[in-house]
Homo-oligomer: A and B are copies of this chain.
Amino acid sequence: MITLSEENYLKAILSINLNTNSVVSTNEIASNLNTSAASVTEMVKKLQDKKLVIYEKYKGVNLSKKGREKAIEILRKHRLWETFLVKKLDFSWAEVHDIAEQLEHIKSKKLTDKLNHFLNYPIFDPHGEPIPTKDGTIPKTKRITLNKMPLNSKGIVMGVALDNKEFLDYLTKLQISIGTKVYAIDRISFDQSMKIKINNKLEHISKEIAQNILIKIN
């Protein structure tokens, strides 16, 4: 049996590992889960006993095959439920994360499969993130962050790298959503903020915002 807490640790480790592509440190997990490093050390030892992670004292943690499978399963459920909430229940993309944080822990393989079928086998979640497939692969996407767009080039918003309500509400206010066409006009060298054109309107966005918008360039 794998507890809710253990599931959250596995998910955090996966998420950090997908970003850094390297071994995961105690501190990174602690900050991701808003908990103390001491608690992480404790839990990581338990996960090791259960063969869910590979852990070397003072060196860091990696998911085992079994642990990775479990983590991806949770990520899959999270993104399927988010898709359900937006597509079927008419929630906005900014509202669904916290609810999906709860729903991702519902245990029933059959439920996950039926939900997937009901949603017509979606490939991306409402934030443009790829939904892991049943066999545990995460579809690769090649996208760049808006702050890396060449000037005077155009692109299409494919997703966001941050599932945070304030951020998403702000994008909505700017009328930025998935599929929106973007033209990169200028990058201010002082603060790396960017001037862009969206729906024929000129906007000025901070580096922090630009870093979290994922773009496909033609």
Q: What's the Cα separation between A128 and B105 when bound, in Å?
A: 28
| Interface residue ranges of A22-68 to B (CB < 8 Å) | none
**A121 neighbours in B (Cβ, 8 Å):** none
Decide if A217 is an interface residue (CB 8 Å cutoff): no
* Cβ contact of A111, chosen from B99, B107, B111, B118, cutoff 8 A: B99
Check A115 for interface membership: any CB of B closer than 8 A.
Answer: yes
Q: A113 — nearest CB in chain B belongs to which residue?
A: B89
Total copies of the chain: 2
Could you say which residues of chain B place their CB within 8 Å of the CB of A108? 98-99, 102
Residue A148 at the chain B interface, CB threshold 8 Å = no
- Contact, CB under 8 Å: B106 / A91: no
Q: What is the distance, in angstroms, from A75's C-beta to the closest C-beta of chain B? A: 18
- Residues of the B chain whose Cβ atoms lie less than 8 Å from the Cβ of A135: none
Distance (whole angstroms) from the CB of A100 to the closest CB of chain B = 10
Q: Are B102 and A118 in contact (CB under 8 A)?
A: no
A114 touches B102 (CB 8 A): no
Restricting to A67-95, which residues have a CB under 8 Å from any CB of B?
85, 88-91, 95
Neighbouring B residues of A107 by C-beta, 8 Å: 102
Write out the residue numbers on chain B whose beta carbons fall within 8 Å of the beta carbon of A102: 105-108
A198 interface residue, CB < 8 Å from B? no
Shortest Cβ gap from A89 to chain B (Å): 4
Q: How far is the CB of A213 from chain B (nearest CB, A)?
A: 27
CB distance from A50 to the nearest CB of B (A): 22
A90 & B114 in contact (Cβ 8 Å cutoff): yes
A113-142, CB < 8 A from B: 114-115, 118
4 A-B pairs with the lowest CB-CB distances in the bound complex, closest first: A89-B114, A102-B106, A99-B108, A89-B118
Question: Chain A residues in contact with chain B, CB under 8 A?
Answer: 85, 88-91, 95, 98-99, 102-103, 105-108, 110-111, 114-115, 118
**What are 15 A-B pairs at a CB distance below 8 A?**
A85-B111, A88-B118, A89-B111, A89-B115, A89-B118, A91-B110, A95-B110, A98-B108, A99-B106, A102-B105, A102-B106, A102-B107, A102-B108, A103-B103, A103-B106
